[in-house]
Amino acid sequence: MKFLKETNWNEVFSGWREREADDPGWKKVATQVKGWRDWESWRKNTASQLGAEKRKWQIFELTDPLNEIPAMLVGPYAGWQSRLPKKNEMTFEDLANIPEQRKFFKNHSRVASMMKNFPSPTEMIGLVRQDNEKIICVEGHHRATAVAIAKKENQMINFHVPVRIALAKISASELSLLDKMLERGSAAP
């Protein structure tokens, strides 16, 4: 991974908004599935639970995305963590190594599409655990799953241009935020 620049949460969130806010599928999840008034309210709730606006953010370029992305930890979201035997501890590579999960996601329209035509350019969002230096995926789960499955099955992914990731640190004393976030879920109150 190569450091590119310092940034701030407003810029990181702006990129997230550009990637998702106008997508009809994400709008539907935010409003009809999760019960929020709009996409922005839903995603700002996630950011708030992680204290994103108070963190120091940096942009990096992944130098070995086929290995770096599957090594990321699956983020603290109920829909994703429910697919794993250990909560908030497992990677996308672990997910791809579970046969029923690999089969499910290979047939998932969004993931299957990304395996064939990876979004480019792309930027993900993550938190670096200071206790073990592992990256927790905050945004980019479908892309990470696509890469992990492709790697598992020796399938090539054409990244077209370097993949970027916005990262901030999370201390060991803050890791309980992940469990609280998982317990709370992302539905509107």
Mean pLDDT per 10-residue interval, the chain, length 189 residues: 98 97 96 97 96 98 98 97 97 98 97 96 97 98 98 95 97 96 94
**95, 99, 104, 109 alpha-carbon torsion, rounded to 10°:** 70
DSSP secondary structure code for residue 83 in this structure: T
Q: Report which of 136, 125, 130 is spatially closest to residue 178, judged by C-alpha positions.
A: 136
Query: Which pLDDT value is given to residue 65?
Result: 98
User: Other C-beta atoms within 10 Å of 155: how many?
Assistant: 12
Query: Which pLDDT value is given to residue 136?
Result: 98
Q: Which residues contact 93 (CB under 8 A, 6 or more apart)?
A: 70, 71, 148, 151, 152
Query: Which pLDDT value is given to residue 112?
Result: 96
d(CA 146, CA 118): 8
User: Other C-beta atoms within 10 Å of 109: how many?
Assistant: 9
Query: Which pLDDT value is given to residue 108?
Result: 96
Say what the pTM is: 0.96
Q: Summarize pLDDT for 70-101 with one digit per residue, the tens.
A: 999 999 999 999 999 999 999 999 999 999 99
Query: Which pLDDT value is given to residue 141?
Result: 98
Within the chain, strands assigned E span: 2-7, 57-61, 123-129, 135-139, 164-170
